[in-house]
């Protein structure tokens, strides 16, 4: 089981505001700043997993490439297809870059997801699997 995941971002203040907005919409709570400068969020307490997501300030100006070694994308679990559809509307309303609108994918039966990007172009996904 994952304990935590830390992402490196170009502008921590900008990304902190963005993740506050986007993760907050999904019920994640800001749980503080690790070591005073790494903002962290945790998923809803009534969810199946407990883990945290943190942001670190980049030390390089090299942009992220999801096809180079490293993180390709981060998938977050949704409670339902309806949550994904509502979240997609929220993303559009808040000018978040939507990479792929909600759709069913062949990954597994009933796999339904929306893909979007954070301010640094990191790919995120909100997914619902009926069997999960």
* pLDDT (mean) for 8-30: 95
Query: Is the pLDDT higher at 4 or at 48?
Result: 4
The rounded distance, in Å, linking the Cα atoms of 44 and 25 is 11
Q: Residue 32: its pLDDT value, please?
A: 82
* Contacting residues for 112 by C-beta, under 8 A, at least 6 apart: 81, 84, 102, 103, 104, 105, 127, 128, 129
* pLDDT (mean) for 62-91: 93
Three-state SS at 28? coil
Q: Residue 74: its pLDDT value, please?
A: 94
The closest alpha carbon to 82, from 46, 126, 131, 44, belongs to: 126
- Quickly state the pLDDT bin for 69 (edges 50, 70, 90): confident
**Architecture of the domain defined by 1-58:** Roll (3.10)
Dig out the tokens for 67 from the structure. 């096809």
Query: Is the pLDDT higher at 89 or at 30?
Result: 89
Q: Which fold has domain 73-132?
A: 2,3-Dihydroxybiphenyl 1,2-Dioxygenase; domain 1 (3.10.180)
**1-58 and 73-132 have identical folds:** yes
pTM: predicted TM-score of the whole model, two decimal places: 0.89
Q: Residue 48: its pLDDT value, please?
A: 61
- Domains in the chain: boundaries: 1-58, 73-132
């Amino acid at each position: 089981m994952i304990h935590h995941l830390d992402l490196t971002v170009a502008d921590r203040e900008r990304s902190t505001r963005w993740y506050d907005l986007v993760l907050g919409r999904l019920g994640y709570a800001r749980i503080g700043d690790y070591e005073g400068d790494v903002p962290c969020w945790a998923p809803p307490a009534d969810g199946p997993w407990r883990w945290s997501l943190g942001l670190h300030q980049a030390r390089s100006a090299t942009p992220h490439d999801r096809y180079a070694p490293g993180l390709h994308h981060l998938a977050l679990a949704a409670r339902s297809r309806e949550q994904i559809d509502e979240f997609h509307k929220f993303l559009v309303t808040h000018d978040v870059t939507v990479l792929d609108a909600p759709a069913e994918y062949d990954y597994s039966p009933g796999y339904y997801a929306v893909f979007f990007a954070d301010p640094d172009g990191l790919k995120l996904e909100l997914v619902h699997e009926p069997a999960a």
